[in-house]
Amino acid sequence: MRIAVLVSGGGSNLQSLIDNASDCYEIVLVISDRQHAFGLERAKKHGIDACCVGLKNFGDAKNDEILRLLTEYRIDAVVLAGYLSILPDFIVNKFEHKIINIHPSLIPSFCGMGFYGHKVHEAVFKSGVKITGATVHFVNAGVDTGEIILQESVAISDETPEEIAKKVLVLEHRLLPHALNLLCNNKIKTEHNRTIICE
Ligand code: GRF
């Protein structure tokens, strides 16, 4: 499958997809909404076409340009890997059950509007929970509300938000390639707002 990865920051999840590439998917395009996202550099270093499509250079036409690129590159599935913008319905609906996202908590906890990046780990720290983790889920019209595909948890005690983030990132780098392989091998079935994984 031809894959597009959308990033906004450092791109360590993109790197894990590159490092764990299998014969069932090829990353052919990386798009960032931030001009200086290091994820763009990671893509270019591996010979993957990469570009910035953001409000600064495309304004209101940003999402039209994203869809144009996904079409031009004949994209089969999209991975949101630290992508901080919300995809509009006209893109989500065109790629139903073909867009996955990595979220740095155990959905449905610590997710939804306002819960992104480090804000997630700060909320986890303040809450005093004893486990956190990461989730890969399908992207639908909501925010972090698509069917959950994979989750992995990790125990926490007195870690700082920064230490929590590091622990969770290790899980993310394992879960995302696994989920993409499942998707590309058509091993994820969905029914009644849940997934059935056919490993
Ligand atoms: C990760 O914690 C990811 O879950 C969140 O953004 C953070 C940075 O990811 N969405 P990356 O290093 O840019 O892949």
Please write the tens of the pLDDT for every residue from 49-72. Answer: 999 999 999 999 999 999 999 999
Percent residues over pLDDT 70 in the chain: 100
At 84, is the pLDDT very low, low, confident or very high (cuts 50, 70, 90)? very high
Mean pLDDT of 16-36: 96
Q: Where are any strands of DSSP class E within 2-126?
A: 2-7, 26-32, 49-52, 77-80, 99-103
Q: Which atom of ligand 1 is nearest to the CA of 81?
A: 14
Which residue, among 93, 87, 92, 166, has the nearest Cα to 134 in the 3D structure?
A: 166
Answer yes or no: 36 catalytic: no
pLDDT for residue 101: 98
Token duo for residue 117: 């990046």
Ranges 38-42, 47-51, 60-64, 112-116: which has the least confidence: 112-116
Residues with CB under 6 A from ligand 1: 7, 9-14, 39, 81-82, 102, 104, 117, 169, 172
> Which residue's alpha carbon is nearest to atom 1 within ligand 1?
82
State yes or no: pLDDT of 199 exceeds 90: no
Q: Best of 105, 172, 176 to mutate for ligand 1, by most ligand atoms within 8 A of CB?
A: 172
Residue 65, helix vs strand vs coil: helix
> Under a CB-based contact definition with an 8 Å cutoff, are residues 7 and 82 in contact?
yes
> Which residue's alpha carbon is nearest to atom 8 within ligand 1?
82
Q: Which atom of ligand 1 is nearest to the CA of 80?
A: 10
State yes or no: pLDDT of 177 exceeds 90: yes
Determine the residue type at 57. N
Within a 10 A sphere around the Cβ of 67, how many other Cβ atoms? 17
This prediction has a pTM of 0.96
State yes or no: pLDDT of 181 exceeds 90: yes
Rounded to the nearest whole angstrom, what is the distance from the C-alpha of residue 186 to the centroid of ligand 1? Answer: 25
